[in-house]
């Protein structure tokens, strides 16, 4: 995690290595109209009191990629990938950070990333939350 991410991370969050091989998607939404509370409510595998890797998926104009990455880093996100898309001059950007997630914080993060995207002619496509698969070694319940 970047130094900015460590600085901005909420206190009390237990460490979760975003590179773990046993992470699975426990909640997600790629529908602008769906509330985070609804997305989190429809999952049966999300553990609310444990940290998640929150991933945000964006479509960014190629000439705005650096600016968007700088701002998302200031918000505590690390870039996972930035791949050219089929659409000309656009990049699929995937950023992530570790945090304990609830409906309010999920909505706040979605709103922040939507605002960043809007200012740079980009689009927030959706988000997903990942946690260790149940029953894997090292998981605490």
Q: In which residue are the tokens 């605002």 written?
A: 115
Kind and range of the H or E run holding 91: strand 90-100
What are φ and ψ of residue 58, in 5° steps?
-130, 155
Total length of the chain: 141
d(CA 29, CA 109): 13
Pairing, β 90-100 against β 23-29: unpaired
pLDDT in tens, 4-46: 444 444 444 458 999 999 999 999 999 999 999 999 988 777 8
Q: For the chain, give every domain's residue range.
A: 22-132
Q: Is 126 or 5 the better-scoring residue by pLDDT?
A: 126
The mean per-residue pLDDT over the stretch 85-89 comes to: 84
Write down the CATH number for the domain with range 22-132.
3.30.70.970
pTM as predicted:
0.83
């Amino acid at each position: 995690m970047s130094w900015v991410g460590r600085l901005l991370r909420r206190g009390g969050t237990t460490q979760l290595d975003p590179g773990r091989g046993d992470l699975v998607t426990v909640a997600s939404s790629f529908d602008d109209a769906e509330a985070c509370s609804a997305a989190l409510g429809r999952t049966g595998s999300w553990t609310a009191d444990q940290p998640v890797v929150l991933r945000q998926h964006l479509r960014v104009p190629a000439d705005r990629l650096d600016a968007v990455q700088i701002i998302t880093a200031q918000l505590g996100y690390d870039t996972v990938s930035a791949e050219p898309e089929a659409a000309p001059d656009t990049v699929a950007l995937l950023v992530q950070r570790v945090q304990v997630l609830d409906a309010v914080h999920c909505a706040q993060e979605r709103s922040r990333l939507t605002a960043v995207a809007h200012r740079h002619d980009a689009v927030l496509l959706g988000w997903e939350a990942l946690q260790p698969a149940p029953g894997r070694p090292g998981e605490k319940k």
